[in-house]
Chain A
């Protein structure tokens, strides 16, 4: 499938700030699931660094604004050809050993409720394979956390979300990571885009899910929020230990003031491929 992306992120500051530096993880890396046909990042007023590829295979780029600014706008435009690989990440060049993702962070630290959820789920499946266990955990997380937009914020931890009993894709991913760690499976947070949910209903297009490492298969994506594995409706941007670590934009404002964030994301499928 051919997906086009137009993603604008605009920060407006209450008072002019002394400068801005951002690390952008906003370029899809090539894998068997996705191939970039064209892609551009524009940040008016900023000096952009040369894109670099980190150990996890993500493409990073620095944007620096030295002048006093009242706002900054990041515009990402591009076209990606996607292929359904049943959620399996293949052909993605990376150097981080999977076992490094057995480590938790404050956002993926399990609490009692998460431990109980894992116990209940896995004790019912004594002879299950790692893949079956991962599927079962993903299903259990979607069950435990009804998708409730606006119920949590960017700082919500897995434990917080579990206590609240609801969440958005970020919370599903972080809780699932906590579960996978308890089950001894390496797991990580992935950010990206989603064209639409499987039933075709429109969806907030910036998206996040979890990847769990299965011996023999490699990294497999699990979208607990949508009860499925990523397919050709998904574009993968990057990964990390948790939502903060994998954020598409990590930025720092010098002499920071109150900021207003405005994000619009448009994803569309091109029905036909253009003939050459």
Chain B
């Protein structure tokens, strides 16, 4: 029994207001014009160098993420509620991180099981007791949302470490504005191009107390072989900061320095796009060549700020996810504005039993997995796949969680024959520093295959420009 999917443009065949002007736009567009525009878009992306390598595939490193020209649109009112919910969540996640690396009140109060936090691989004992500047651990919180009805939004997962994809949000808009300027004259689309300025301001606001000048902010990348290198270089360029690799930095005394043609320059804030494990071979993985030896000592003595803070990953674990509504109530004393997807913890015997009995209806995910790998979409899988997955689940239940198969909303998407509904999700990027900021927009990912619910770019998903229509 397949649920009825909410179509964001045509609700029970009625055109929804935010899409008002788009109906005429696509209907009047001749097929050949569309093909020209699609080619033009691809050309623009390739020219900008926006490519994406998929992990473990070894394919074309210059592959483009498919871009769908049909925008996804929110009203100002819809967005207001999302914004409040997202900011609320970002505050609670940071409060949680501050707490579990300090006194752990939420655990003492019995609201979250201690082992879920302290035995978690992402809980870094190296930073226990350390309070980063302003108490902020996760400076860029990417919250993955799905929609199932006009007013039903669910949080699918939180990304507290280094959520990627924001370059697509910015470039998708650039490309749309170049290709269809009149659409932006007809619609009052809220701009997203302030993101880089806000990000820079956010990063500068968490400079160490010791820093008594205009903070020197850098972006630390694993290097140009990384699949997200384009994004790193793009963001660094937009912010006007140096894009550095581990080898460009070194530690001496109580500070971290950057190698420049004018000699060593002190660095105050590092926006890192590498994992904790690789940050410092003297503290974490000794074989890491991507990090900066000695960096964690400088960090812990307040000589440099690392964004996101090492250890922030403990808040976005899929097992911790279940407790985020609890965090909101505990730290903020508020009711959660955005709901979680109901989740079964296969580590619990009762939950496991339910999941095993209903596996064909559920989405089962690895606790530490990401990118749409290691997951089963029950209703879309054949019998053999389900059986193979069930065996893996039985062997190691605590490695899995399960969720109902959500009736993900659809948005019109260009296909061979014209337009057709395709499932979408949304990732907005919330910035947390001295202030909490959110640009009006985000990355909409779309499952291009008919009927598919998997939107990950590594699994054949594409992207769309995401509009928030400003109020009249």
A contacting B, Cβ–Cβ less than 8 Å:
yes
List A residues at the B interface (Cβ < 8 Å). Answer: 19, 21-23, 47-50, 52, 54-56, 60-62, 64, 66, 94-97, 99-103, 241, 244, 250-252
In the complex, the answer to whether A95 meets B129 with C-beta atoms within 8 Å is yes
Asked if A62 meets B294 with Cβ closer than 8 Å, knowing A49-B254, A251-B282, the reply is: yes
* Among B115, B125, B250, contact of A64 (Cβ-Cβ < 8 Å): B250
What 3 A-B pairs come out closest when comparing CB atoms?
A95-B129, A55-B128, A23-B282
In the complex, the answer to whether A55 meets B130 with C-beta atoms within 8 Å is yes
In the complex, the answer to whether A52 meets B250 with C-beta atoms within 8 Å is no
Q: Within B346-383, which residues are at the interface with A (CB < 8 Å)?
A: none
In the complex, the answer to whether B281 meets A62 with C-beta atoms within 8 Å is no
Query: Would you give the 0/1 interface string for B239-279, flagging 1 where the beta carbon is closer than 8 Å to chain A?
Result: 00000000000111110000000000000000000000000
Asked if A252 meets B281 with Cβ closer than 8 Å, knowing A55-B130, A95-B128, the reply is: yes
B266 to chain A, nearest CB (A): 14
Bound-complex Cα distance A259 to B171 (A): 50
* Among A19, A55, A61, A251, contact of B129 (Cβ-Cβ < 8 Å): A55
Asked if A100 meets B129 with Cβ closer than 8 Å, knowing A49-B253, A49-B301, A252-B293, the reply is: no
In the complex, the answer to whether A64 meets B294 with C-beta atoms within 8 Å is yes
* Among B118, B127, B253, B301, contact of A48 (Cβ-Cβ < 8 Å): B253
Complex contacts, B128 vs chain A, CB 8 Å: 55-56, 95-97, 100
Complex contacts, A96 vs chain B, CB 8 Å: 125, 128-129
In the complex, the answer to whether A21 meets B293 with C-beta atoms within 8 Å is yes
Bound-complex Cα distance A244 to B300 (A): 20
B51 at the interface (CB under 8 A from A): no
17 extra A-B contacts, CB within 8 A, seeds A97-B128, A251-B293: A22-B282, A49-B301, A50-B254, A52-B297, A54-B300, A55-B101, A60-B297, A66-B252, A95-B102, A96-B125, A97-B118, A99-B118, A100-B118, A100-B123, A103-B121, A250-B286, A251-B282
Query: Would you give the 0/1 interface string for B102-125, flagging 1 where the beta carbon is closer than 8 Å to chain A?
Result: 101000000000110011010101
Bound-complex Cα distance A94 to B410 (A): 52
List B residues at the A interface (Cβ < 8 Å). Answer: 101-102, 104, 114-115, 118-119, 121, 123, 125-130, 250-254, 281-283, 286, 293-294, 296-298, 300-301
Asked if A64 meets B129 with Cβ closer than 8 Å, knowing A49-B297, A97-B104, A250-B282, the reply is: no
Asked if A21 meets B125 with Cβ closer than 8 Å, knowing A55-B130, A102-B119, the reply is: no
Asked if A55 meets B127 with Cβ closer than 8 Å, knowing A23-B283, A66-B252, A102-B115, the reply is: yes
9 residue pairs from A and B, CB less than 8 Å apart = A19-B250, A23-B297, A49-B251, A54-B126, A96-B125, A97-B104, A97-B128, A102-B118, A241-B125
In the complex, the answer to whether A252 meets B118 with C-beta atoms within 8 Å is no
In the complex, the answer to whether B300 meets A52 with C-beta atoms within 8 Å is yes
* Among A23, A64, A94, contact of B253 (Cβ-Cβ < 8 Å): A64
B247 to chain A, nearest CB (A): 9
Complex contacts, B126 vs chain A, CB 8 Å: 54-55
Complex contacts, A250 vs chain B, CB 8 Å: 281-283, 286
A93 to chain B, nearest CB (A): 9
Cβ-closest chain A residue relative to B291 = A252
Cβ-closest chain A residue relative to B255 = A49
Bound-complex Cα distance A24 to B296 (A): 13
A10 to chain B, nearest CB (A): 19
Among B125, B282, B296, residue most surrounded by chain A Cβ atoms (within 10 Å): B125
Bound-complex Cα distance A19 to B252 (A): 11
Bound-complex Cα distance A49 to B304 (A): 13
Complex contacts, A101 vs chain B, CB 8 Å: 125
Bound-complex Cα distance A56 to B124 (A): 11
B101 to chain A, nearest CB (A): 8
Asked if A47 meets B282 with Cβ closer than 8 Å, knowing A52-B300, A62-B298, A96-B125, the reply is: no
Complex contacts, B101 vs chain A, CB 8 Å: 55
Complex contacts, A241 vs chain B, CB 8 Å: 125
Cβ-closest chain A residue relative to B107 = A97
Bound-complex Cα distance A64 to B293 (A): 10
A155 to chain B, nearest CB (A): 11
Bound-complex Cα distance A23 to B126 (A): 13
In the complex, the answer to whether B282 meets A21 with C-beta atoms within 8 Å is yes
Cβ-closest chain B residue relative to A63 = B294
Bound-complex Cα distance A57 to B169 (A): 44
B467 to chain A, nearest CB (A): 45
Complex contacts, A56 vs chain B, CB 8 Å: 125, 128
A250 to chain B, nearest CB (A): 4
In the complex, the answer to whether B115 meets A99 with C-beta atoms within 8 Å is yes
A190 to chain B, nearest CB (A): 14
Bound-complex Cα distance A21 to B130 (A): 23
B199 to chain A, nearest CB (A): 29
In the complex, the answer to whether B294 meets A21 with C-beta atoms within 8 Å is yes
In the complex, the answer to whether B119 meets A103 with C-beta atoms within 8 Å is yes
In the complex, the answer to whether B301 meets A50 with C-beta atoms within 8 Å is yes
Complex contacts, A244 vs chain B, CB 8 Å: 286
Bound-complex Cα distance A103 to B102 (A): 19
Complex contacts, A102 vs chain B, CB 8 Å: 115, 118-119
Bound-complex Cα distance A102 to B297 (A): 24
Complex contacts, B119 vs chain A, CB 8 Å: 99-100, 102-103
Complex contacts, A23 vs chain B, CB 8 Å: 282-283, 293-294, 296-297
In the complex, the answer to whether A62 meets B297 with C-beta atoms within 8 Å is yes
A35 to chain B, nearest CB (A): 22
Asked if A97 meets B114 with Cβ closer than 8 Å, knowing A54-B300, A62-B297, A102-B119, the reply is: yes
In the complex, the answer to whether B252 meets A47 with C-beta atoms within 8 Å is yes
